[in-house]
Structure 1
Amino acid sequence: MAPWQQRDKLWCLEPAGRPRGLIEFIGGSYLAASPQLSYRRLLEALAAQGWRVHAWSYVPGFDHQAQANQAWRLFRLSRAGDGALLESAAAARLPVLRLGHSLGCKLHLLAPDGGRRNAALVALSFNNFSAERSVPLLAELGQQLRFRSEFSPSPEQTLSQISATYLQPHNLLVRFSRDGIDQSSRLLGVLKARPGDDSTLLELPGDHLTPASGGLRKQVLGAWADDPARQRGMERLVGQISSWSESRAPWRGPQLKAPSVQWFQGAWP
Protein backbone atom coordinates (compact mmCIF):
# COMPACT_ATOMS: atom_id res chain seq x y z
CA MET A 1 0.00 0.00 0.00
CA ALA A 2 1.38 3.40 -1.01
CA PRO A 3 1.74 6.20 1.57
CA TRP A 4 -0.91 8.89 2.01
CA GLN A 5 -0.79 11.77 -0.48
CA GLN A 6 -2.51 15.13 -0.14
CA ARG A 7 -4.15 16.70 -3.19
CA ASP A 8 -5.72 20.04 -2.35
CA LYS A 9 -8.26 19.16 0.38
CA LEU A 10 -8.31 15.45 -0.44
CA TRP A 11 -6.18 12.81 1.28
CA CYS A 12 -5.56 9.94 -1.14
CA LEU A 13 -4.48 6.37 -0.58
CA GLU A 14 -3.65 3.77 -3.22
CA PRO A 15 -4.01 -0.01 -2.80
CA ALA A 16 -1.07 -2.28 -3.51
CA GLY A 17 -2.52 -3.84 -6.67
CA ARG A 18 -5.14 -3.00 -9.26
CA PRO A 19 -7.99 -1.22 -7.44
CA ARG A 20 -11.40 -2.83 -7.12
CA GLY A 21 -13.00 0.63 -7.03
CA LEU A 22 -12.81 4.14 -5.63
CA ILE A 23 -14.12 5.20 -2.23
CA GLU A 24 -15.03 8.87 -1.76
CA PHE A 25 -15.12 9.43 1.99
CA ILE A 26 -16.56 12.26 4.09
CA GLY A 27 -16.09 12.03 7.84
CA GLY A 28 -18.19 13.49 10.60
CA SER A 29 -17.93 16.62 12.68
CA TYR A 30 -14.42 17.82 13.54
CA LEU A 31 -12.93 14.37 13.04
CA ALA A 32 -12.99 15.12 9.31
CA ALA A 33 -10.40 17.90 9.54
CA SER A 34 -7.66 15.25 9.37
CA PRO A 35 -9.30 12.10 8.00
CA GLN A 36 -5.94 10.47 7.26
CA LEU A 37 -5.36 10.47 11.04
CA SER A 38 -8.77 10.24 12.70
CA TYR A 39 -10.08 7.57 10.31
CA ARG A 40 -6.73 5.99 9.54
CA ARG A 41 -7.57 2.46 10.69
CA LEU A 42 -10.81 2.33 8.66
CA LEU A 43 -9.44 3.87 5.47
CA GLU A 44 -6.20 1.90 5.46
CA ALA A 45 -8.13 -1.31 6.04
CA LEU A 46 -10.27 -0.48 3.00
CA ALA A 47 -7.14 0.20 0.94
CA ALA A 48 -5.76 -3.15 2.08
CA GLN A 49 -8.94 -4.72 0.63
CA GLY A 50 -8.14 -3.13 -2.74
CA TRP A 51 -10.02 0.17 -2.61
CA ARG A 52 -8.56 3.45 -3.82
CA VAL A 53 -9.47 6.07 -1.16
CA HIS A 54 -10.16 9.80 -1.54
CA ALA A 55 -11.01 11.41 1.83
CA TRP A 56 -12.15 15.04 2.08
CA SER A 57 -10.65 17.28 4.76
CA TYR A 58 -13.05 19.98 6.00
CA VAL A 59 -14.32 21.86 9.04
CA PRO A 60 -18.13 21.74 9.35
CA GLY A 61 -20.22 24.89 9.18
CA PHE A 62 -23.89 25.77 9.24
CA ASP A 63 -24.45 25.71 5.45
CA HIS A 64 -24.44 21.98 4.80
CA GLN A 65 -25.74 22.36 1.24
CA ALA A 66 -22.78 24.55 0.30
CA GLN A 67 -20.38 22.05 1.84
CA ALA A 68 -22.08 19.16 0.05
CA ASN A 69 -21.66 21.02 -3.24
CA GLN A 70 -18.02 21.76 -2.45
CA ALA A 71 -17.22 18.12 -1.64
CA TRP A 72 -19.00 16.87 -4.74
CA ARG A 73 -17.12 19.26 -7.03
CA LEU A 74 -13.77 18.37 -5.48
CA PHE A 75 -14.37 14.63 -5.79
CA ARG A 76 -15.51 15.07 -9.39
CA LEU A 77 -12.48 17.16 -10.35
CA SER A 78 -10.14 14.67 -8.68
CA ARG A 79 -11.80 11.79 -10.53
CA ALA A 80 -11.54 13.60 -13.88
CA GLY A 81 -7.90 14.49 -13.33
CA ASP A 82 -6.80 11.10 -12.02
CA GLY A 83 -4.92 9.57 -14.92
CA ALA A 84 -4.43 6.33 -13.05
CA LEU A 85 -8.18 5.91 -12.76
CA LEU A 86 -8.62 6.34 -16.52
CA GLU A 87 -5.72 4.21 -17.78
CA SER A 88 -8.06 1.94 -19.67
CA ALA A 89 -11.72 1.48 -20.45
CA ALA A 90 -11.87 -1.22 -17.79
CA ALA A 91 -10.40 1.10 -15.17
CA ALA A 92 -12.83 3.83 -16.15
CA ARG A 93 -15.67 1.48 -15.27
CA LEU A 94 -14.45 0.85 -11.73
CA PRO A 95 -17.29 1.44 -9.28
CA VAL A 96 -17.29 4.59 -7.17
CA LEU A 97 -18.57 4.01 -3.65
CA ARG A 98 -19.52 7.00 -1.51
CA LEU A 99 -18.82 6.45 2.18
CA GLY A 100 -19.84 8.79 4.98
CA HIS A 101 -19.77 8.88 8.76
CA SER A 102 -22.26 10.92 10.82
CA LEU A 103 -22.51 14.38 9.20
CA GLY A 104 -20.58 12.99 6.22
CA CYS A 105 -23.60 10.83 5.36
CA LYS A 106 -25.80 13.91 5.15
CA LEU A 107 -23.34 15.73 2.89
CA HIS A 108 -23.22 12.80 0.48
CA LEU A 109 -27.02 12.61 0.45
CA LEU A 110 -27.19 16.34 -0.40
CA ALA A 111 -24.78 16.03 -3.36
CA PRO A 112 -26.15 18.05 -6.31
CA ASP A 113 -26.13 15.01 -8.64
CA GLY A 114 -28.64 13.20 -6.41
CA GLY A 115 -26.31 10.20 -6.12
CA ARG A 116 -26.35 9.44 -9.84
CA ARG A 117 -22.59 9.62 -10.44
CA ASN A 118 -21.66 6.81 -8.10
CA ALA A 119 -22.46 3.14 -7.73
CA ALA A 120 -23.75 3.12 -4.14
CA LEU A 121 -23.63 4.82 -0.73
CA VAL A 122 -22.55 3.40 2.62
CA ALA A 123 -23.78 5.61 5.48
CA LEU A 124 -22.23 4.97 8.90
CA SER A 125 -24.09 6.41 11.93
CA PHE A 126 -26.27 8.86 9.99
CA ASN A 127 -26.89 11.98 12.09
CA ASN A 128 -29.32 14.77 11.22
CA PHE A 129 -29.84 16.72 14.44
CA SER A 130 -30.51 20.44 14.64
CA ALA A 131 -27.75 22.92 15.39
CA GLU A 132 -29.28 23.57 18.80
CA ARG A 133 -28.77 19.93 19.76
CA SER A 134 -25.50 19.39 17.91
CA VAL A 135 -23.68 22.57 18.96
CA PRO A 136 -25.91 24.35 21.52
CA LEU A 137 -23.32 27.02 22.40
CA LEU A 138 -22.90 28.08 18.76
CA ALA A 139 -26.65 28.11 18.25
CA GLU A 140 -27.08 30.36 21.30
CA LEU A 141 -24.33 32.72 20.17
CA GLY A 142 -25.86 32.84 16.70
CA GLN A 143 -29.16 34.01 18.09
CA GLN A 144 -27.47 36.67 20.23
CA LEU A 145 -25.19 37.94 17.45
CA ARG A 146 -27.78 37.53 14.68
CA PHE A 147 -25.90 35.12 12.44
CA ARG A 148 -27.16 31.82 11.07
CA SER A 149 -27.69 29.45 13.98
CA GLU A 150 -29.49 26.57 12.24
CA PHE A 151 -28.15 24.18 9.67
CA SER A 152 -29.17 24.70 6.07
CA PRO A 153 -31.05 22.68 5.07
CA SER A 154 -32.66 22.02 8.44
CA PRO A 155 -33.22 18.41 9.60
CA GLU A 156 -36.76 18.29 8.22
CA GLN A 157 -35.76 20.01 4.99
CA THR A 158 -32.93 17.52 4.61
CA LEU A 159 -35.29 14.53 4.75
CA SER A 160 -37.70 16.24 2.35
CA GLN A 161 -34.90 16.94 -0.09
CA ILE A 162 -33.64 13.35 0.09
CA SER A 163 -37.17 12.10 -0.63
CA ALA A 164 -37.59 14.43 -3.61
CA THR A 165 -34.15 14.53 -5.25
CA TYR A 166 -31.92 11.65 -4.08
CA LEU A 167 -31.84 9.09 -6.90
CA GLN A 168 -29.39 6.39 -5.78
CA PRO A 169 -31.25 3.13 -4.99
CA HIS A 170 -28.27 1.20 -3.55
CA ASN A 171 -27.63 2.32 0.04
CA LEU A 172 -26.18 0.46 3.03
CA LEU A 173 -27.02 2.15 6.35
CA VAL A 174 -24.88 0.98 9.27
CA ARG A 175 -26.07 1.55 12.83
CA PHE A 176 -23.97 0.66 15.88
CA SER A 177 -25.71 -0.94 18.85
CA ARG A 178 -24.53 1.58 21.49
CA ASP A 179 -24.95 4.69 19.33
CA GLY A 180 -27.41 6.98 21.10
CA ILE A 181 -27.49 9.66 18.38
CA ASP A 182 -27.91 7.47 15.29
CA GLN A 183 -30.89 8.31 13.04
CA SER A 184 -30.49 5.61 10.42
CA SER A 185 -33.97 4.18 10.98
CA ARG A 186 -35.64 7.46 10.05
CA LEU A 187 -33.43 7.79 6.97
CA LEU A 188 -34.27 4.23 5.95
CA GLY A 189 -37.98 5.04 6.08
CA VAL A 190 -37.48 7.99 3.73
CA LEU A 191 -35.38 5.95 1.31
CA LYS A 192 -37.72 2.96 1.33
CA ALA A 193 -40.67 5.19 0.42
CA ARG A 194 -39.09 5.81 -3.00
CA PRO A 195 -40.05 3.43 -5.84
CA GLY A 196 -37.32 0.94 -6.77
CA ASP A 197 -35.32 1.47 -3.58
CA ASP A 198 -32.71 -1.13 -2.61
CA SER A 199 -31.58 0.25 0.77
CA THR A 200 -30.50 -2.01 3.65
CA LEU A 201 -30.00 -1.36 7.37
CA LEU A 202 -27.23 -3.28 9.16
CA GLU A 203 -26.59 -3.17 12.91
CA LEU A 204 -23.12 -3.94 14.28
CA PRO A 205 -21.60 -3.84 17.78
CA GLY A 206 -20.04 -0.50 18.69
CA ASP A 207 -20.86 3.16 19.27
CA HIS A 208 -20.95 6.40 17.31
CA LEU A 209 -17.15 6.68 17.24
CA THR A 210 -16.46 3.08 16.19
CA PRO A 211 -15.50 4.07 12.60
CA ALA A 212 -13.07 6.72 13.90
CA SER A 213 -9.76 5.27 15.00
CA GLY A 214 -6.23 6.35 14.24
CA GLY A 215 -4.57 3.36 15.88
CA LEU A 216 -2.30 5.80 17.74
CA ARG A 217 -1.29 3.43 20.52
CA LYS A 218 -0.30 0.79 17.98
CA GLN A 219 1.75 3.32 15.98
CA VAL A 220 3.57 4.68 19.03
CA LEU A 221 3.90 1.67 21.32
CA GLY A 222 3.56 -1.29 18.96
CA ALA A 223 1.03 -4.03 18.32
CA TRP A 224 1.04 -5.19 21.95
CA ALA A 225 -0.63 -1.90 23.04
CA ASP A 226 -3.46 -2.13 20.54
CA ASP A 227 -7.05 -2.90 21.54
CA PRO A 228 -7.89 -6.27 19.93
CA ALA A 229 -11.65 -5.64 20.25
CA ARG A 230 -11.42 -2.37 18.33
CA GLN A 231 -9.30 -4.01 15.66
CA ARG A 232 -11.79 -6.86 15.30
CA GLY A 233 -14.66 -4.38 15.10
CA MET A 234 -12.94 -2.44 12.33
CA GLU A 235 -12.19 -5.63 10.40
CA ARG A 236 -15.85 -6.65 10.74
CA LEU A 237 -17.01 -3.27 9.46
CA VAL A 238 -14.63 -3.26 6.49
CA GLY A 239 -15.59 -6.84 5.65
CA GLN A 240 -19.28 -5.92 5.66
CA ILE A 241 -18.70 -2.91 3.38
CA SER A 242 -16.68 -4.93 0.89
CA SER A 243 -19.00 -7.96 0.86
CA TRP A 244 -22.08 -5.75 0.47
CA SER A 245 -20.48 -3.90 -2.43
CA GLU A 246 -19.57 -7.20 -4.10
CA SER A 247 -23.14 -8.45 -3.68
CA ARG A 248 -24.33 -5.42 -5.65
CA ALA A 249 -21.91 -6.04 -8.56
CA PRO A 250 -22.09 -5.15 -11.39
CA TRP A 251 -23.99 -2.29 -9.75
CA ARG A 252 -27.11 -2.68 -11.79
CA GLY A 253 -30.57 -2.42 -10.41
CA PRO A 254 -33.75 -0.37 -10.44
CA GLN A 255 -33.21 3.28 -11.20
CA LEU A 256 -35.26 5.95 -9.52
CA LYS A 257 -37.13 8.45 -11.63
CA ALA A 258 -35.62 11.92 -11.70
CA PRO A 259 -37.70 14.50 -9.84
CA SER A 260 -39.68 17.13 -11.70
CA VAL A 261 -38.66 19.88 -9.26
CA GLN A 262 -35.11 21.29 -9.23
CA TRP A 263 -33.92 22.04 -5.70
CA PHE A 264 -31.30 24.65 -4.86
CA GLN A 265 -30.79 26.45 -8.13
CA GLY A 266 -27.13 27.00 -8.93
CA ALA A 267 -25.95 23.87 -7.13
CA TRP A 268 -24.35 22.52 -10.31
CA PRO A 269 -20.98 24.01 -11.27
Structure 2
Amino acid sequence: MKSWQQRGSIWQLCPQQPAALIEFIGGSYLAATPQVSYRRLLEQFSQLNLAVHAWSYVPGFDHQAQARQAWSDFRTARIALNERIGTAPVTFRIGHSLGCKLHLLAPDGGRRSQAFVALSFNNFNAERSIPLLSEIAPRLGVVTEFSPSPAETLRLIQQHYIQPRNLVVRFGDDALDQSQELFQALASRAHDSSELTQLPGDHLTPASAGMRQGLFGDWADDPAKSRRYRRLAELIVRWC
Protein backbone atom coordinates (compact mmCIF):
# COMPACT_ATOMS: atom_id res chain seq x y z
CA MET A 1 0.00 0.00 0.00
CA LYS A 2 1.28 3.46 -0.88
CA SER A 3 2.06 5.93 1.90
CA TRP A 4 0.10 9.07 2.68
CA GLN A 5 0.85 12.17 0.62
CA GLN A 6 -0.32 15.72 1.31
CA ARG A 7 -1.44 18.04 -1.48
CA GLY A 8 -2.51 21.32 0.08
CA SER A 9 -5.37 20.60 2.48
CA ILE A 10 -5.96 17.11 1.08
CA TRP A 11 -4.27 14.00 2.45
CA GLN A 12 -4.21 11.25 -0.18
CA LEU A 13 -3.84 7.50 -0.46
CA CYS A 14 -3.86 6.54 -4.12
CA PRO A 15 -3.47 3.00 -5.52
CA GLN A 16 -2.17 2.80 -9.09
CA GLN A 17 -5.59 2.16 -10.68
CA PRO A 18 -8.25 2.74 -8.01
CA ALA A 19 -11.68 1.22 -8.47
CA ALA A 20 -13.32 4.31 -6.93
CA LEU A 21 -12.57 7.47 -4.95
CA ILE A 22 -13.55 8.23 -1.35
CA GLU A 23 -13.79 11.93 -0.37
CA PHE A 24 -13.69 12.01 3.43
CA ILE A 25 -14.29 14.80 5.97
CA GLY A 26 -13.74 14.02 9.64
CA GLY A 27 -15.26 15.53 12.73
CA SER A 28 -14.21 18.63 14.62
CA TYR A 29 -10.56 18.70 15.72
CA LEU A 30 -9.94 15.10 14.70
CA ALA A 31 -9.97 16.29 11.10
CA ALA A 32 -6.91 18.50 11.48
CA THR A 33 -4.82 15.36 10.92
CA PRO A 34 -7.13 12.85 9.20
CA GLN A 35 -4.19 10.71 8.07
CA VAL A 36 -3.55 10.05 11.78
CA SER A 37 -6.95 10.36 13.47
CA TYR A 38 -8.77 8.15 10.95
CA ARG A 39 -5.82 6.07 9.84
CA ARG A 40 -7.30 2.63 10.48
CA LEU A 41 -10.55 3.18 8.60
CA LEU A 42 -9.10 5.12 5.68
CA GLU A 43 -6.26 2.68 5.11
CA GLN A 44 -8.81 -0.14 4.99
CA PHE A 45 -10.41 1.62 2.01
CA SER A 46 -7.04 1.84 0.32
CA GLN A 47 -6.48 -1.88 0.88
CA LEU A 48 -9.78 -2.45 -0.93
CA ASN A 49 -8.25 -0.57 -3.93
CA LEU A 50 -10.06 2.72 -3.37
CA ALA A 51 -8.32 6.07 -3.57
CA VAL A 52 -8.80 8.22 -0.46
CA HIS A 53 -8.87 12.02 -0.33
CA ALA A 54 -9.25 13.31 3.25
CA TRP A 55 -9.74 17.04 3.89
CA SER A 56 -7.70 18.62 6.70
CA TYR A 57 -9.30 21.57 8.54
CA VAL A 58 -9.80 23.26 11.89
CA PRO A 59 -13.50 23.95 12.57
CA GLY A 60 -14.78 27.50 12.65
CA PHE A 61 -18.19 29.10 13.05
CA ASP A 62 -18.93 29.57 9.34
CA HIS A 63 -19.70 26.01 8.30
CA GLN A 64 -21.13 27.13 4.97
CA ALA A 65 -17.81 28.71 3.99
CA GLN A 66 -15.90 25.63 5.11
CA ALA A 67 -18.24 23.40 3.10
CA ARG A 68 -17.50 25.46 -0.02
CA GLN A 69 -13.76 25.30 0.63
CA ALA A 70 -13.82 21.53 1.14
CA TRP A 71 -15.82 21.06 -2.06
CA SER A 72 -13.37 23.23 -4.01
CA ASP A 73 -10.30 21.46 -2.60
CA PHE A 74 -11.79 18.05 -3.34
CA ARG A 75 -12.59 19.14 -6.90
CA THR A 76 -9.00 20.24 -7.51
CA ALA A 77 -7.63 16.96 -6.11
CA ARG A 78 -10.14 14.90 -8.11
CA ILE A 79 -9.17 16.60 -11.38
CA ALA A 80 -5.48 15.89 -10.68
CA LEU A 81 -6.29 12.22 -9.94
CA ASN A 82 -8.31 11.93 -13.16
CA GLU A 83 -5.36 13.26 -15.15
CA ARG A 84 -2.93 10.85 -13.49
CA ILE A 85 -4.93 7.65 -14.02
CA GLY A 86 -6.52 8.68 -17.32
CA THR A 87 -10.13 8.27 -16.25
CA ALA A 88 -12.69 9.67 -13.79
CA PRO A 89 -13.31 7.10 -11.02
CA VAL A 90 -16.69 6.78 -9.37
CA THR A 91 -16.74 9.10 -6.34
CA PHE A 92 -18.32 8.48 -2.94
CA ARG A 93 -18.43 10.92 -0.04
CA ILE A 94 -18.09 9.95 3.62
CA GLY A 95 -18.37 12.22 6.65
CA HIS A 96 -17.98 11.74 10.38
CA SER A 97 -19.74 13.98 12.93
CA LEU A 98 -19.32 17.61 11.78
CA GLY A 99 -17.83 16.28 8.55
CA CYS A 100 -21.29 15.00 7.60
CA LYS A 101 -22.71 18.52 7.81
CA LEU A 102 -19.93 19.96 5.66
CA HIS A 103 -20.51 17.38 2.92
CA LEU A 104 -24.27 17.96 3.05
CA LEU A 105 -23.74 21.73 2.58
CA ALA A 106 -21.54 21.28 -0.51
CA PRO A 107 -22.42 23.74 -3.31
CA ASP A 108 -23.29 20.92 -5.74
CA GLY A 109 -25.85 19.40 -3.37
CA GLY A 110 -24.18 16.01 -3.69
CA ARG A 111 -24.51 15.99 -7.47
CA ARG A 112 -20.88 14.99 -8.20
CA SER A 113 -20.93 11.90 -5.97
CA GLN A 114 -22.62 8.55 -6.45
CA ALA A 115 -23.63 8.21 -2.80
CA PHE A 116 -22.97 9.62 0.67
CA VAL A 117 -22.28 7.84 3.96
CA ALA A 118 -22.93 9.81 7.17
CA LEU A 119 -21.22 8.39 10.26
CA SER A 120 -22.45 9.78 13.62
CA PHE A 121 -24.07 12.94 12.22
CA ASN A 122 -23.77 15.83 14.68
CA ASN A 123 -25.60 19.15 14.36
CA PHE A 124 -25.49 20.75 17.82
CA ASN A 125 -25.48 24.50 18.31
CA ALA A 126 -22.29 26.37 19.22
CA GLU A 127 -22.96 26.50 22.97
CA ARG A 128 -23.51 22.73 23.14
CA SER A 129 -20.43 22.06 21.01
CA ILE A 130 -18.20 24.54 22.85
CA PRO A 131 -19.17 24.37 26.55
CA LEU A 132 -17.38 27.56 27.67
CA LEU A 133 -18.96 29.66 24.93
CA SER A 134 -22.12 30.37 26.91
CA GLU A 135 -19.99 31.90 29.68
CA ILE A 136 -17.49 33.78 27.52
CA ALA A 137 -19.77 35.24 24.83
CA PRO A 138 -21.94 37.42 27.17
CA ARG A 139 -18.82 38.88 28.78
CA LEU A 140 -17.52 39.85 25.36
CA GLY A 141 -20.86 41.25 24.34
CA VAL A 142 -21.25 38.99 21.33
CA VAL A 143 -23.75 36.41 20.21
CA THR A 144 -22.07 33.49 18.50
CA GLU A 145 -23.70 30.65 16.59
CA PHE A 146 -22.71 28.35 13.79
CA SER A 147 -23.73 29.40 10.30
CA PRO A 148 -25.99 27.84 9.27
CA SER A 149 -27.67 27.10 12.60
CA PRO A 150 -28.84 23.54 13.36
CA ALA A 151 -32.42 24.26 12.26
CA GLU A 152 -31.27 26.08 9.12
CA THR A 153 -28.93 23.19 8.29
CA LEU A 154 -31.80 20.71 8.23
CA ARG A 155 -33.91 23.10 6.14
CA LEU A 156 -31.09 23.50 3.60
CA ILE A 157 -30.71 19.73 3.37
CA GLN A 158 -34.43 19.33 2.69
CA GLN A 159 -34.50 22.05 0.03
CA HIS A 160 -31.11 21.96 -1.70
CA TYR A 161 -29.41 18.60 -1.14
CA ILE A 162 -30.26 16.45 -4.16
CA GLN A 163 -28.32 13.19 -3.70
CA PRO A 164 -30.95 10.44 -3.19
CA ARG A 165 -28.57 7.66 -2.07
CA ASN A 166 -27.44 8.17 1.52
CA LEU A 167 -26.46 5.70 4.22
CA VAL A 168 -26.93 7.20 7.69
CA VAL A 169 -24.98 5.23 10.30
CA ARG A 170 -25.64 5.52 14.02
CA PHE A 171 -23.46 3.81 16.64
CA GLY A 172 -25.47 2.40 19.54
CA ASP A 173 -23.61 4.01 22.46
CA ASP A 174 -23.24 7.44 20.84
CA ALA A 175 -24.69 10.17 23.08
CA LEU A 176 -23.73 12.89 20.56
CA ASP A 177 -25.47 11.31 17.58
CA GLN A 178 -28.31 13.08 15.72
CA SER A 179 -28.69 10.63 12.87
CA GLN A 180 -32.45 10.32 13.32
CA GLU A 181 -32.95 14.04 12.67
CA LEU A 182 -30.81 13.82 9.55
CA PHE A 183 -32.63 10.77 8.27
CA GLN A 184 -36.00 12.46 8.73
CA ALA A 185 -34.78 15.51 6.78
CA LEU A 186 -33.48 13.32 3.96
CA ALA A 187 -36.58 11.11 3.87
CA SER A 188 -38.87 14.15 3.55
CA ARG A 189 -37.46 14.87 0.08
CA ALA A 190 -39.06 13.56 -3.10
CA HIS A 191 -37.40 10.47 -4.64
CA ASP A 192 -35.25 9.85 -1.55
CA SER A 193 -33.75 6.39 -1.08
CA SER A 194 -31.74 6.98 2.10
CA GLU A 195 -31.21 4.20 4.63
CA LEU A 196 -30.61 4.35 8.39
CA THR A 197 -28.64 1.63 10.15
CA GLN A 198 -27.24 1.11 13.65
CA LEU A 199 -23.91 -0.54 14.48
CA PRO A 200 -22.11 -1.32 17.76
CA GLY A 201 -19.79 1.42 19.03
CA ASP A 202 -19.76 5.05 20.12
CA HIS A 203 -19.09 8.50 18.65
CA LEU A 204 -15.37 7.86 18.23
CA THR A 205 -15.68 4.41 16.67
CA PRO A 206 -14.72 5.61 13.15
CA ALA A 207 -11.59 7.33 14.52
CA SER A 208 -8.47 5.41 15.43
CA ALA A 209 -4.84 6.18 14.74
CA GLY A 210 -3.57 2.63 15.22
CA MET A 211 -0.59 3.94 17.20
CA ARG A 212 0.70 0.53 18.31
CA GLN A 213 0.60 -0.71 14.74
CA GLY A 214 2.36 2.40 13.49
CA LEU A 215 5.15 2.14 16.08
CA PHE A 216 5.73 -1.60 16.23
CA GLY A 217 4.22 -3.08 13.07
CA ASP A 218 1.28 -5.39 12.39
CA TRP A 219 2.41 -7.98 14.97
CA ALA A 220 1.70 -5.53 17.83
CA ASP A 221 -1.76 -4.51 16.63
CA ASP A 222 -5.02 -5.52 18.29
CA PRO A 223 -6.60 -8.11 15.92
CA ALA A 224 -10.12 -7.35 17.18
CA LYS A 225 -9.76 -3.65 16.32
CA SER A 226 -8.36 -4.46 12.89
CA ARG A 227 -11.32 -6.72 12.16
CA ARG A 228 -13.77 -4.05 13.32
CA TYR A 229 -12.41 -1.45 10.92
CA ARG A 230 -12.20 -3.98 8.13
CA ARG A 231 -15.87 -4.87 8.63
CA LEU A 232 -16.93 -1.21 8.71
CA ALA A 233 -15.00 -0.42 5.52
CA GLU A 234 -16.40 -3.49 3.76
CA LEU A 235 -19.96 -2.65 4.84
CA ILE A 236 -19.61 0.85 3.41
CA VAL A 237 -18.05 -0.35 0.15
CA ARG A 238 -20.71 -3.05 -0.33
CA TRP A 239 -23.49 -0.51 0.24
CA CYS A 240 -21.93 2.03 -2.12
2: distance between equivalents of 1:202 and 1:175? 6
- What's 1:73 paired with? 72
2: distance between equivalents of 1:39 and 1:227? 16
User: How big is each residue's C-alpha offset from its partner over 1:65-93, in whole Å with a ceiling of 9 and x where there is no partner?
Assistant: 11001100111122223344561xxx22x
- What's 1:39 paired with? 38
TM-score by length of 2: 0.95
2: distance between equivalents of 1:146 and 1:225? 52
Q: In the alignment, is residue 174 of structure 1 matched against residue 169 of structure 2?
A: yes
Q: In the alignment, is residue 154 of structure 1 matched against residue 144 of structure 2?
A: no
Mapping for residues 1-269 of structure 1, pairs under 5 Å: 1-15=1-15, 17-84=16-83, 87=86, 91-92=87-88, 94-147=89-142, 149-245=144-240
What secondary structure sits across from 2:204 in the alignment?
coil
RMSD between superposed Cα atoms in Å: 1.5
1: distance between equivalents of 2:194 and 2:25? 20
What secondary structure sits across from 2:111 in the alignment?
coil
> Quick one: which amino acid aligns to residue 149 of structure 2?
S
What secondary structure sits across from 2:132 in the alignment?
helix
1:206·1:233 contact (CA, 8 Å) conserved in 2? no
2: distance between equivalents of 1:148 and 1:60? 18
More divergent stretch after superposition (217-226 vs 62-71): 217-226
The gaps in structure 1 that reach 5 residues or longer are 246-269
1:23·1:96 contact (CA, 8 Å) conserved in 2? yes
Instruction: Provide closer, same or farther for how the CA distance between residues 77 and 147 of structure 1 changes in structure 2, counting only shifts above 3 A.
Output: farther
Task: Give the drift of 1:171.
Answer: 0.4
1: distance between equivalents of 2:193 and 2:138? 41
What secondary structure sits across from 2:133 in the alignment?
helix
> Quick one: which amino acid aligns to residue 35 of structure 1?
P
The gaps in structure 2 that reach 5 residues or longer are none
User: How big is each residue's C-alpha offset from its partner over 1:145-204, in whole Å with a ceiling of 9 and x where there is no partner?
Assistant: 244521110100100110010000010111111111111111111111111101011211
1:79·1:85 contact (CA, 8 Å) conserved in 2? no
> Quick one: which amino acid aligns to residue 183 of structure 1?
Q
Instruction: Provide closer, same or farther for how the CA distance between residues 73 and 224 of structure 1 changes in structure 2, counting only shifts above 3 A.
Output: same
Instruction: Provide closer, same or farther for how the CA distance between residues 170 and 138 of structure 1 changes in structure 2, counting only shifts above 3 A.
Output: same
Instruction: Provide closer, same or farther for how the CA distance between residues 220 and 235 of structure 1 changes in structure 2, counting only shifts above 3 A.
Output: same
1: distance between equivalents of 2:225 and 2:140? 43
What secondary structure sits across from 2:31 in the alignment?
helix
Task: Give the drift of 1:139.
Answer: 4.3
1: distance between equivalents of 2:38 and 2:59? 16
2: distance between equivalents of 1:84 and 1:103? 31
Aligned pairs, how many?
Answer: 240
Instruction: Provide closer, same or farther for how the CA distance between residues 96 and 146 of structure 1 changes in structure 2, counting only shifts above 3 A.
Output: farther
1: distance between equivalents of 2:42 and 2:96? 12
1: distance between equivalents of 2:13 and 2:73? 16
2: distance between equivalents of 1:187 and 1:171? 10
> Quick one: which amino acid aligns to residue 79 of structure 2?
A
2: distance between equivalents of 1:65 and 1:135? 18
What secondary structure sits across from 1:82 in the alignment?
helix
TM-score by length of 1: 0.85
2: distance between equivalents of 1:48 and 1:55? 16
2: distance between equivalents of 1:32 and 1:178? 22
Runs of 4+ in structure 1 off by over 3 angstroms are 83-86, 221-225
User: How big is each residue's C-alpha offset from its partner over 1:5-36, in whole Å with a ceiling of 9 and x where there is no partner?
Assistant: 10001001012x52111111100010000000
